[in-house]
Amino acid sequence: TEKPTALIMIFGATGDLANRKLFPSLFNLFEKGKLDKFAVVGVARRTLSNEEFQRKVKESVKENGETGADIDEFVSKFYYHSHDVTDSSSYLALGKLAEELDNHYGLNGNRIFYLAMAPEFFGTIAEHLKKDKLTDVSGFKRLVIEKPFGHDLESAKVLNKQIRKAFSEDEIYRIDHYLGKEMVQNIEVIRFANAMFEPLWNNRYISNIQVTSSETLGVEERGRYYEKSGALRDMVQNHMLQMVSLLAMEPPIKLTTDEIRSEKVRVFRALRPVKGEEVTEYFVRGQYDKGVMNETDVPAYRQEEMVDSESNTETYVAGKLMIDNFRWAGVPFYIRTGKRMMAKSTKIVIQFKDIPMNLYYQPEKTVNPNLLVIHIQPEEGITLHLNAKKSGQGTEATPVKLNYANKGIEGLNTPEAYEKILYDSLRGDATNFTHWDEVALSWSFVDNISAVWESTKEPSFPNYASGSMGPDAADKLLEKDGFFWWPIT
């Protein structure tokens, strides 16, 4: 494949994301020789000289443990523009700089606009880029945009309309960084490259699927944003539903962006809406209380900075999703995600149905169902839980696990999600980004639940201790159906 050439403009270049993820990822791409000609313009409000900005980039790359000798050459391609997002003259100056860099580096008029900043400015920036002619380019132009993409369906529509004035749908790369994770990308391969899974991947053989993404961190310094968001908007609308769509989609006829997206969209269309009174039957919300983690006392959510002392915001969600199509009718997809939980872990457990009759004595349970566990993070791999004969005399069955660890086998660290996402946006591959239809459908699913949660105060909050696995009600959600959460640690 051809190496990409582009001018990359990062809006929000002094922010946390740029520092922690974007600069180190770009450096890795540069070091691996994956970039052809490029230059970067850091765009942010504060005044900085190019040299000061370059020093920051260098620090951020070094802090990430990168020590490549080429670091000075890398940062020499970084420029800084002090910007006022609402002022046309500021965009005109940025446009002039962009043109100079384009000529100087021979970037073929290709431009990436990466919005890594407060979402309230996304729309304004897109409109100005068009009006002030930064999008009049001779090469490609692409908008790479961080979450949140709106706060609900209505605001997402408004935002989408604004950015669509300047960019067409194929020029918009909406980031869901879970789609850049190695093992999330592996879901499709595990399903569609193995004769032994795809034939069983349906309601005849699968009893339920459990997707867990637990975090140990609390809300940290993001109280202001999180109070208005909560776990449902922050994690479920995007990352959790994206994983569900990859698990549930039909095999695409080809591995093209459009074919994969259209299969994912069909899953969202088949997702059964949960509304009104059903919300309490299908969904559980939690909020963390104080607790002890790593032998340190941690405060309750309501005691965090910028958080209301009577906050009704959820920091945990568990839910049961039903996908009403031929493949999945009757199979619950259970999801759960929360902050300040026992472990940092993202895992998918596919539980197969029990065999028709159990011939073998198993001491603990009557039957150990087969499980396929996909470990997304921190470990990356898959485990298949089977039953085998216990060695020795007799016919006792015992559970055995077949393990595949990604890292162990390849002997290499898998590239960070952001490195892959950046590279894809530079190459023009939008497969691992979310199409507008996916965003809209997942908001409409989530909006029904928020509507109920926002209008009723949850009297049990806080309802789980920091360092636990969430509220008891989440266990009951599965018990009602005769299931339980498989442990994730």
Q: Confirm or deny that 339 is annotated as ligand binding.
A: yes
Please choose, from the candidates 205, 449, 230, 453, the residue with its C-alpha nearest in 3D space to the C-alpha of residue 321: 449
Which residues on neighbouring strands pair with residue 383, listed in sequence order? 373, 403
Confirm if 69 and 80 have CB atoms less than 8 A apart. Answer: no
Please tell me whether 147 is known to bind a ligand: yes
Q: How far is the CB of 360 from ligand BG6 (least distance, A)?
A: 39
For residue 11 the two structure tokens come to 């809006």
Distance linking the first and last C-alpha atoms of the chain = 40
Q: Please, which residue, 346 or 368, has the CB nearer to ligand BG6?
A: 346
401 is in an annotated binding site: no
Q: How far is the CB of 231 from ligand BG6 (least distance, A)?
A: 8
Helices 241-248, 257-270: axis angle to 10 degrees equals 100
* Residue 20 annotated as lining a ligand binding site: no
Contact 268, 440 (CB under 8 A): no
Q: Closest CB to ligand BG6 among 42 and 230?
A: 230
Smallest distance from the beta carbon of 339 to ligand BG6, in angstroms?
7
Helix (H) or strand (E) holding 296: strand 296-298
Residue 304 binding ligand BG6, by CB under 6 A: no
Residues in the chain: 489
CB 427 within 8 A of CB 4: yes
Please count the helices (runs of H) and the strands (runs of E) in the chain: 16, 17
Q: How far is the CB of 458 from ligand BG6 (least distance, A)?
A: 20
Residue from 234, 263, 314, 380 in contact with ligand BG6 (CB under 6 A):
234
> Shortest Cβ distance from residue 21 to ligand BG6 (Å)?
10
Tell which positions 116-155 bind ligand BG6, by CB under 6 A.
147
Confirm or reject binding of residue 289 to ligand BG6 (CB under 6 A): no
Pick the catalytic residue from 83, 239, 385, 435: 239
Residue closer to ligand BG6, measured from CB, 328 or 433: 433
Of the pair 135, 346, the CB lying nearest ligand BG6 is at 346
Residue 290 counted as an annotated binding residue: no
Q: How many residues bind ligand BG6 (CB under 6 A)?
A: 4
Q: E-strand spans in 202-271? A: 206-214
Is residue 215 at the binding interface for ligand BG6, with CB under 6 A as the rule? yes
**Residue closest to ligand BG6 when measured from CB atoms:** 234
Q: How many CA atoms lie within 13 A of 147 on its CB side?
A: 24
According to the annotation, is 177 in a ligand binding site? yes
* Annotation says 239 is catalytic: yes
The token pair at 103 is 């000529």
Closest approach of ligand BG6 to the CB of residue 388, in Å = 34
Q: How many CB atoms lie within 10 A of CB 324?
A: 12
Closest to ligand BG6 by CB, 147 vs 340, is 147
Question: By CB under 6 A, what part of segment 325-354 binds ligand BG6?
Answer: 346
Q: Could you identify the residue written with the tokens 């002030």?
A: 132
Determine the Cα–Cα distance for residues 169 and 142; give it in Å rounded to an integer. Answer: 10
User: Order of strands across the sheet with 296-298?
Assistant: 296-298, 288-293, 464-466
Q: Which is nearer to ligand BG6, 234 or 314 (CB)?
A: 234
Burial of residue 454 (CB within 10 Å: 0-12, 13-18, 19+) is exposed
Nearer to ligand BG6, 108 or 216 (CB): 216
Q: Shortest approach of ligand BG6 to residue 147 CB, angstroms? A: 6
Pull the structure tokens for residue 406: 């990604």
Over the window 9 to 38, marking each residue x when it contacts ligand BG6 by CB under 6 A and - when it does not, the resulting string is: ------------------------------
With tokens 């994912």, the residue in question is: 264
**314 marked as part of a ligand binding site:** no
Which residue bears the tokens 């018990």? 479
| Residues annotated within a binding site for NADP(+) | 45, 84-85, 147
Positions at the binding site: 45, 84-85, 147, 177, 181, 215, 234, 339, 344
Q: Point out the residues that are catalytic.
A: 239
**Applying CB under 6 A, which residues contact ligand BG6?**
147, 215, 234, 346
